[in-house]
Amino acid sequence: MKDKANIKELSTLIKTEAIRLGFAACGISKAAYLKDDAQRLKTYLEKNFNGKMSYMANHFDKRTNPQLLVEGAQSVISVLFNYFPNETQKDKQAPIVSKYAYGKDYHYVIKEKLNKLLAYIKEIEPETEGRAFVDSAPVMERAWAREAGLGWIGKHGLLINKQIGSFVFIGELIVNTSLSYDKPIKEYCGNCTRCIDACPTDAIITNKTIDARKCISYLSIELKSEIPEEFKGKFLNRVFGCDICQDVCPHNSKAIPHSHEELKPIQGLLEMRKTDWYTMDKAYFNKMFKHSPLKRTGFKGIKRNLNFISGYS
């Protein structure tokens, strides 16, 4: 498939298959150097806004140029996967878990679907080679989703899709096949500052820039050492992650609950009472969160977080 008509047809087939596989949206952009994003990342790292996430400085060139990740890369296929739940934790006094962590670890779910999409593309275009990426390699996923017209980067630094909001996972296929490319859309945040105003730790320091060292998600998940005392009483009962900036965003008022069986809440998680959290032992944790994103922090990390928020719920 070489001419424009066939390229457009192939692109349409890819998007249709992506939706059939359960993705909420699919867009395609040209695999090229992200010059502006590279400069923003450079400044971000120079100011140490990444905290102890040293991996963000690794493979800088690959992070901003997909052609260094996949030989002969021509296109970046970006997909969104809705994770907005239809129910939340029952006990309003229980430590709060970020909505993305209610179910099975999303990395496995999306990676499997992306590989199925890649296999489908190869059936139509046998010479296609590529790789699937789900938040596990030096890929600027939000930038690519933006370039593919799937949304814009909000003031809280997250991608916002005009139809379904920001409670979405992002995945990419970087392939060596030329496709029909989408264009970025305009931004719709306007003068709204709800996410900035609502952040209890003032982590959103400038438009679209987050100081991870102040972000509850970073402090409760990524940080492995003790949480600085200056944040005592500011976690608002968050034990793993934080959705505050998303919860107040007007664009999420239209969020539609997902129906993905793979992301169905872990049995018993939403029913856990405050006392269940504070009395659970390692065996209970390992059984409950065997396939959960909470494994990233581990039992020791969750206990650290519980001790930190204790008395402030």
Q: Active-site residue numbers?
A: 135
Tally of CB atoms within 10 A around 252? 17
- Give the integer Cα–Cα distance in Å for 6 and 3: 6
What phi-psi label fits residue 156: left (phi over 0), alpha (psi between -120 and 50 degrees) or beta?
alpha
- Residue 126: burial class (beta carbons within 10 Å; 0-12, 13-18, 19+): exposed
Distance, CA of 101 to CA of 108 (rounded, Å)? 13
Strand partners, 266: none
Amino acid at 248: V
Comparing C-alpha atoms, which of 236, 233, 213 is closest to residue 225? 213
User: Could you give the angle at the alpha carbon of 141 between the alpha carbons of 140 and 147, nearest 5°?
Assistant: 95
